[in-house]
Structure 1
Amino acid sequence: MTISLERLRRCTIAVDLGAARTRVYLKRTGLIVDEPTVAAVNIRTGGLIGVGALAERMTGRTPPHIRVVRPVAGGRVVDIAMAQRMLRFLVGNKLRRAWRRKALPSAAVCVPHDADPLAQRAAVETLTGLGARRVELVDTLLAAAVGCGLPVERPEATMIVVCGAATTQVAVLSLGSIVAAERVPVGGETIDHAVVQHVRNEHALMLPSQAVHPLHLALAGAGPSVDDTEVHGRDVATGLARSVRIDIEGIRAVVRTPLTGVLDAVGAVLRRCPPDLVADLAERGIMLAGGSAVLPGFDSLLREATGMPLHIADRPDTCAVEGLGAMLEGKLRPVVLDPLAS
């Protein structure tokens, strides 16, 4: 897709509807919303009980008449009505004040690379239902590259890997456009699912969703030692609560397996790039962004497989919305090509 920086500068808000978190950037204000993309609904009355962090804490702990839903899955809006209700609750008075200052403002939203027309239409309808007069679609890869501070507007190669909750996107950019890109269905949720399945197969233990985080800390070396890594869950056979000690080396091997799909995507993108751009990348390296960019062992695995320098963005989880906000503020300037004098 092509974007117009002039039209983006007319937008008032920028939205990043991710499978894990929703972020909203208000022009001349900054980031005003950074909450989990979760909503809790009373299925008897249809009332909204909670959204964001409150609804996420309810996951797996609700009675039968309360359902926790995720209106965004795989990088696309799957429940437009619920996404609108969630956004309306999250932005609250902050966005209503902006609406009063400028009736029916334009909005910009991130969409995954090569998103199909239905996914694009769902993103547009989500924001138009909130009152946006016009919605501009921006590729997540381009927005994240701008948010990381990469010189995407220059005639030189920049490579970015955006690791989300459901998908990972890889791209090489030059002159403000995407030269080659790939998207694979591997993300933070895939890693967590692999860890949960490993613990179930090895220890006959069902882990709650919150039990995976301590294992991430142990893998990164920021948690307890290997001997003290203990998790609590439900026994598969008896249904009783039980605790087991986890072999971190075994978890590390489990985590590396699904990440090989990302390595294949990186290789496919490099093979489709001109040699001059690949030579640029050998010096500049690869930028990691996205909420799952800090997965333990991901950076070292990518560095070993490609032999290129690897950099992790300062704030990898908010790169996309910050880049989109920079476009709204007019901070991105394309290279002006003057015609040669005859």
Structure 2
Amino acid sequence: MTASLEQLRRCHFAVDLGAARTRVWVRGAGLVVDQPSVAAVNTKTGALIAVGEFAEKMKGRTPDYIRVARPVSGGTVVDIDMAQRMLRHLLGDKVRRTLRRKPRLRAAACTPHDADPLAQRATIETLVGLGARRVELVDTLIAAAVGCGLPVEEPEATMIMVCGAAATQLAVLSLGSIVTAERIPVGGEAVDHAIVQHLRHQHELMLPSQAVRPLQLALSANGPNAPGPALTEIHGRDVATGLARSVQVDTAAVRMAIETPLTAVLDGVGKVLRSCPPDLVADVADRGIMMVGGSALLPGLDQMLRQATGVPVHIAERPDVCAVQGLGYMLEGRIEPRILNPLAN
């Protein structure tokens, strides 16, 4: 599934269609799009009303005739037409005119490690609809490893964890290839859902997922093992009366609530390490695990990994853009392949 570096160097732009955000890298211009993967549509006329950040703000606040849609789910395009329309508006007229001038326009795209042929085809058709004559697919794990500066071409183990909105992908890389990998259907959305359910059961408070952000910030500020309870004020709707209400939430209790979905991630790490050769496990124990993806900054996740595995855990400098950055580096020829020539007899 992963294209060669020679094929990628002939590409003109790269796309990372994530469940949470869409990012586009244009060769020579860098990262030109970094917006939420959301589009708002008028169901009466079919017209596209808004995309990106403005469309995300409309979620849960629209009249009946406006639908806020996510054309990408779990790294897979589920609505090709909507994804194409969203990308056209996110790119803008200037960038699209620049790309149209390219002879035999080529594109590169990230796909999850276990993406089936149908999911790969949906990604290809989405970019072909934008004018691409050829689309090269790259495994998200390899692209993210390149983007955060890991020496993927070396004969040493490199373990990477891509923490997405809908899923978490884990892999051990060596000599530019995946030795073993695992995909866990737990991501940032599962953690948000756990927080919402905790507030509903413990405080009888209903709130949209956007209101989870203040709690996550409080958890990050206090750290995973903050001494003593810390309170955060949350506004929502009372389950019984339906009226607006504010509660003081104990962040220590919320921290315990989000440990349940994160346990599945820890199990996935153990499964990947158990299926690795001993020499590679020794490399991982020495070099640690690199966390990338928008959900890599979930409060306490890195500390839980350190305690459960006993190996160092690092978070990339810009974890959210590592995948598209890796594609961009490969497009621009910044990565040199390791050539393995057969020995002459």
TM range (shorter): over 0.9
Following superposition, the deviation at residue 335 of structure 1 comes to 1.1
Please state whether the residue corresponding to 1:108 is helix, strand or coil. Answer: strand
Question: Is the Cα–Cα contact under 8 Å of residues 38 and 56 in structure 2 kept in the other structure?
Answer: yes
Taking the aligned partners of 1:103 and 1:336, their CA distance within structure 2 comes to 30
In structure 2, the partner of 1:290 is 293
Question: Is the Cα–Cα contact under 8 Å of residues 152 and 176 in structure 2 kept in the other structure?
Answer: yes
Match of 1:333 among 332, 336, 339: 336
Taking the aligned partners of 2:188 and 2:278, their CA distance within structure 1 comes to 32
Could you report, residue by residue, the CA deviation over 1:50-78 in whole angstroms, capped at 9, with x for unpaired residues?
00000000011001111100000111000
Could you report, residue by residue, the CA deviation over 1:133-191 in whole angstroms, capped at 9, with x for unpaired residues?
00001000000000010000111100000000000000000000000000011000000
Note the 1:112-151 alignment, pairs <5 A.
Answer: 112-151=112-151
Taking the aligned partners of 1:222 and 1:252, their CA distance within structure 2 comes to 10
Is the aligned partner of 1:271 residue 2:274? yes
Question: Is the Cα–Cα contact under 8 Å of residues 112 and 139 in structure 2 kept in the other structure?
Answer: yes
Question: Is the Cα–Cα contact under 8 Å of residues 169 and 182 in structure 2 kept in the other structure?
Answer: yes
Q: CA RMSD in A?
A: 1.4
Q: Which amino acid aligns with 1:155?
A: P
In structure 2, the partner of 1:38 is 38
Following superposition, the deviation at residue 334 of structure 1 comes to 1.4
Aligned-residue sequence identity (percent) comes to 70
In structure 1, the partner of 2:254 is 251
Could you report, residue by residue, the CA deviation over 1:296-326 in whole angstroms, capped at 9, with x for unpaired residues?
0000000101100111000000000000111
Paired residues, what number? 341
Following superposition, the deviation at residue 211 of structure 1 comes to 1.2
Q: Which amino acid aligns with 2:197?
A: Q
TM-score between the two structures when normalised by the length of structure 2: 0.96
Is the aligned partner of 1:230 residue 2:199? no
In structure 2, the partner of 1:177 is 177
Could you report, residue by residue, the CA deviation over 1:214-239 in whole angstroms, capped at 9, with x for unpaired residues?
1001111169x955411000111111
In structure 2, the partner of 1:95 is 95
The runs of 5 or more residues in structure 2 that have no matched partner are: none
In structure 2, the partner of 1:5 is 5
Q: Which amino acid aligns with 2:168?
A: T
Q: Which amino acid aligns with 1:336?
A: I
In structure 1, the partner of 2:75 is 75
Taking the aligned partners of 1:37 and 1:270, their CA distance within structure 2 comes to 33
Taking the aligned partners of 1:257 and 1:147, their CA distance within structure 2 comes to 30
Taking the aligned partners of 2:40 and 2:180, their CA distance within structure 1 comes to 39
The runs of 5 or more residues in structure 1 that have no matched partner are: none
Question: Is the Cα–Cα contact under 8 Å of residues 226 and 246 in structure 1 kept in the other structure?
Answer: no
In structure 1, the partner of 2:200 is 200
Moved over 6 A (4+): none
Q: Which amino acid aligns with 1:160?
A: I
TM-score between the two structures when normalised by the length of structure 1: 0.97
In structure 1, the partner of 2:158 is 158
In structure 2, the partner of 1:105 is 105
Taking the aligned partners of 1:113 and 1:230, their CA distance within structure 2 comes to 40
Taking the aligned partners of 1:319 and 1:124, their CA distance within structure 2 comes to 21
Question: Is the Cα–Cα contact under 8 Å of residues 88 and 96 in structure 2 kept in the other structure?
Answer: no
Taking the aligned partners of 1:6 and 1:95, their CA distance within structure 2 comes to 24
CA change 1:237–1:104 in 2 (3 A) is farther
Please state whether the residue corresponding to 1:67 is helix, strand or coil. Answer: strand
